[in-house]
Amino acid sequence: MGGVLLGMAGLSGCSGKVETNPAAVASVKPAMEAKTDARKFISTEMMYNHALGLFEEGSYDEAEKEFEEVCEKWPKFSKPYKHLARTQIKQGKLEEALENALTASELNPKDGTIDNVIGMALMELDDFDSAEASFRTAISKSPTFSWAYNNLGYLLIRKGDFVSAKDILLEGSKVDNAPAVLFNNLGIVLEKTGDTAGAMEAYAKAVEKDPGSIKATGNLSRLETDTPAGKNGEIAQVMESR
């Protein structure tokens, strides 16, 4: 500390007064400001991580407030806006979610996971055509992001286009760490298109990945007990984004 003080002030031997050295002050000020900025960044980063934790535990109101504050402090970062949009989708605030997801996309146009969130908001707003385009964009930008395949497949199931849904879900099933829900939805479309054996395999894979999946377990059990395969399976309505 003493070294800093001596650098900032020169002692006058005659009068004993302390005179400020402007050049010394100018040289130290940027370093002090950088330390302050670093402390603010760390504090905001902690809030961001805390908001993510709140989201994961389902505390969406609290998560939304913290993500909004992080967005104010980090206006040029895309992730807080993306996760704010995810939080608002969970709350049914779809117009706000879409606006924040679009802001995130403007900040980081190469991130396909953001297009996935845009697609989720559009799908919930019943704009299926625009949602489909967004999911396809997500896949083209981030081809290893398996949730985009699942969400596009789910959308196509809702549109009744089972053949296209099968194609995209089969493609997504080859991606590393594809979620259990994708395999359950794949089983649905395989049943719908007459491939009972393939459907059983897909349901079994879903149960393997998530033994607690009630829908996948029920669908597999239904086929294993020779229940007519023509009955509709339960679509796992999960449209999560990571």
pLDDT in tens, 96-115: 999 999 999 999 999 999 99
Shared domain check, 210 and 160 = yes
Please give the share of the chain, as a percent, with pLDDT higher than 70: 76
Q: Which of 122, 152, 183 is the last residue of a domain?
A: 122
Shared domain check, 213 and 174 = yes
pLDDT at 206 over 60: yes
- Domain count for the chain: 2
Inside any domain, residue 109? yes
pLDDT at 94 over 60: yes
Shared domain check, 193 and 109 = no
Q: How does pLDDT run across 41-69, given as a tens digit for each residue?
A: 568 899 999 999 999 999 999 999 999 99
Inside any domain, residue 232? yes
Q: Please tell me the least confidently modeled range out of 21-35, 82-96, 142-156, 186-200.
A: 21-35
Question: Tokens 């389902």, residue?
Answer: 58
Query: What's the confidence (pLDDT) of residue 234?
Result: 57
Shared domain check, 148 and 233 = yes
Inside any domain, residue 10? no
Tokens (6 digits) for 96: 């706000």
Query: What's the confidence (pLDDT) of residue 232?
Result: 55
pLDDT at 242 over 70: no
How far are the Cα atoms of 39, 47, 145, 158, 227 from residue 85, in angstroms, in the given order? 27, 17, 18, 23, 41
CB-CB neighbours of 227 under 10 Å: 11
Across the strands, what pairs with 20?
A: 9
Measured CA to CA, the distance from residue 22 to residue 25 in angstroms comes to 5
Q: Are 163 and 193 in contact (CB under 8 A)?
A: yes
Shared domain check, 150 and 109 = no
Inside any domain, residue 8? no
Length in residues, the chain: 242
Inside any domain, residue 160? yes
CATH number of the domain bearing residue 206: 1.25.40.10
Shared domain check, 147 and 118 = no
Tokens (6 digits) for 194: 């007459």
Three-class SS state of 160 = coil
Shared domain check, 191 and 150 = yes
> What average pLDDT score do residues 31-50 get?
68
Inside any domain, residue 161? yes
Q: How many Å from the N-terminal Cα to the C-terminal Cα in the chain?
A: 46
Q: Which of 92, 122, 152 is the last residue of a domain?
A: 122
Tokens (6 digits) for 30: 């940027």
pLDDT at 168 over 50: yes
pLDDT at 152 over 70: yes
At residue 1 the predicted structure's pLDDT band, cuts being 50, 70 and 90, is very low
Inside any domain, residue 30? no
- Looking at every residue in the chain, the average pLDDT score rounds to 84
> What average pLDDT score do residues 24-33 get?
49
Shared domain check, 174 and 91 = no
Measured CA to CA, the distance from residue 196 to residue 128 in angstroms comes to 28
Shared domain check, 93 and 151 = no
Measured CA to CA, the distance from residue 196 to residue 213 in angstroms comes to 20
Shared domain check, 111 and 171 = no
pLDDT at 176 over 80: yes
pLDDT at 10 over 70: no
Show the domain range for 59: 36-122
Measured CA to CA, the distance from residue 238 to residue 155 in angstroms comes to 11
Shared domain check, 175 and 91 = no
**Closest listed residue to residue 113, CA positions, set 235, 233, 240:** 240
Q: Which of 61, 91, 122 is the last residue of a domain?
A: 122
Shared domain check, 162 and 96 = no
Inside any domain, residue 150? yes
Contacts with 187 (C-beta within 8 Å, 6 or more apart), sequence order: 198, 199, 200, 202, 203, 206, 216, 219, 220, 233
